[in-house]
Structure 1
Amino acid sequence: MRHTPHFLMTDVDEVKRLVDGNPWATIVSHTSTGLVASHYPFLLEDSTDDGLVLVSHVGRPDEQAHELGQHEVLVVVQGPHGYVSPAWYPPEQFVPTWNHVTAHLWGTPEILSDDENFRVLGELVDHFERVMPSPVSLRVDEETARRMAKGTVGIRIRVTRFDARAKLSQNKAPEVVDRIIAGLRGDGPYASPALADEMARAHGLEER
């Protein structure tokens, strides 16, 4: 990402919050045949230290395409983002921008055993089903679920480094920030309540 020190997000807990709230991520590998990218849901795994540990799975034969386990991969997590119109700025400020919350995470995947993979698949389903009125579980038909799980390869990525940005108009005056948030909360073509919430949180305006 572009080097923007004043937008850096260095707090591991904030990166964890980003991953938890935006689990659909892009995994990129620089393989012997070139760049490969795929998209899968990731969950945070509890760690004994303060590090970041991700778990997911890929559908076969993506594990071969990515050469998983043979080298480092990049996982890109994209949070709320959106266009910021200069219509929300003072007249003399006429250059638009794009606000976003994004993290790049690096690590070498570990291939999970079949049993671990099935456990992680179950946790993925349970994680997303928990908000449903009648949650569905792989335990409904474990035999069939285990058979289908053979078409996937589970992975664990212990993040060795990350580069994260929360570009949320921190360089703007408070009254301009208020106007941007109001615009994002409105009903115009660039409305984005989720981005407005992130901006309000970053500027300490949640209670206003």
Structure 2
Amino acid sequence: MRHTPSFLMTEVDEVRRLVRGNPWATIVSSTARGIVASHYPFLLEEQPEGSDDIVLVSHVGRPDEVAHELGRHEVLVVVQGPHGYVSPAWYPPEQFVPTWNHTTAHLWGTPEILSDDENFRVLGDLVDHFEREMPEPASLDVDEATARRIARGTVGIRLRVTRFDARAKLSQNKAPEVVERIIAGLRADGPYASPALADEMARVHDTTTGLEAP
């Protein structure tokens, strides 16, 4: 990412929060055949209290594990949080250059290939994680034999993050009254409405501008 020190996100807990809230991520690999990218849901694997480790688990559908050469080299996982266009209509007249606010993390590590049993457990965790919002959650336990047969078409991975580069570009360089106008614009019923981005801005600026987070 572009070198923007004022927008750096350096706290591990903040990166974890970004992953938890935005599990759909992009895997990018530099392979012998060139650059390969795929998209899969990731979960954080909880670590002992006090640990600064960021560990992700997921799966890929065969033959993506071959295409990415998983386990043979480092990969990049890109997590994209709320983002959106910021119009100069929300700025003072003398500020007329628009921008794009975003929260993004680049995570690097070499994937560990999971055993069949651990892959099935992770698949079950993924299903349970997303189904918990449903009124009648589904589960792989409904028909484990069939679920295990389908799971053979996937390969589980664990990624222990060795380094990350994360940004929260949320108008930290703007005056408090401008930030308020941007948040109001993002919450309004307009072409660039983005309540999730407004929430992120309100949360970040709560400690720096006196805004009250929703």
Q: How does 1:1-208 map to 2 (within 5 A)?
A: 1-48=1-48, 49-204=51-206, 205-207=211-213
Letter in 1 for 2:188: G
Moved more, 23-32 or 45-54: 45-54
Distance between the aligned counterparts of 1:156 and 1:32, measured in 2?
A: 22
Residue-by-residue CA offset, 1:16-42 (whole Å, 9 max, x unaligned) = 000000000000000011000000000
SS of alignment partner, residue 143 of structure 1: helix
How large is the Cα RMSD of the aligned pairs? 0.7
Distance between the aligned counterparts of 1:131 and 1:7, measured in 2?
A: 33
Residue-by-residue CA offset, 1:145-189 (whole Å, 9 max, x unaligned) = 000000000000000000000000000000000000000000010
Q: Is the 8 A contact 2:202 2:212 kept in 1?
A: yes
Q: Is the 8 A contact 1:78 1:101 kept in 2?
A: yes
Q: 1:36–1:189: structure 2 CA closer, same or farther, 3 Å change rule?
A: same
Distance between the aligned counterparts of 1:143 and 1:75, measured in 2?
A: 32
Distance between the aligned counterparts of 1:15 and 1:182, measured in 2?
A: 26
Distance between the aligned counterparts of 1:105 and 1:47, measured in 2?
A: 17
1:47 offset after TM fit, Å? 2.0
Letter in 2 for 1:155: I
Residue-by-residue CA offset, 1:92-117 (whole Å, 9 max, x unaligned) = 00000000000000000000000000
Distance between the aligned counterparts of 2:164 and 2:213, measured in 1?
A: 31
Question: Normalized against structure 2, the TM-score is what?
Answer: 0.96
Q: Percent identity among equivalent residues?
A: 85
1:50 offset after TM fit, Å? 1.9
1:121 offset after TM fit, Å? 0.1
Question: Normalized against structure 1, the TM-score is what?
Answer: 0.99
SS of alignment partner, residue 70 of structure 1: coil
Distance between the aligned counterparts of 1:203 and 1:140, measured in 2?
A: 45
Segments of 5+ residues of structure 1 without an aligned counterpart are: none
SS of alignment partner, residue 134 of structure 2: coil
Q: Is the 8 A contact 2:77 2:107 kept in 1?
A: yes
Distance between the aligned counterparts of 1:47 and 1:166, measured in 2?
A: 24
SS of alignment partner, residue 176 of structure 1: helix
Distance between the aligned counterparts of 2:29 and 2:55, measured in 1?
A: 18
Distance between the aligned counterparts of 1:206 and 1:155, measured in 2?
A: 40
Segments of 5+ residues of structure 2 without an aligned counterpart are: none
Q: 1:197–1:207: structure 2 CA closer, same or farther, 3 Å change rule?
A: closer
Aligned residues: 208
Residue-by-residue CA offset, 1:35-72 (whole Å, 9 max, x unaligned) = 00000000000123221000000000000000000000
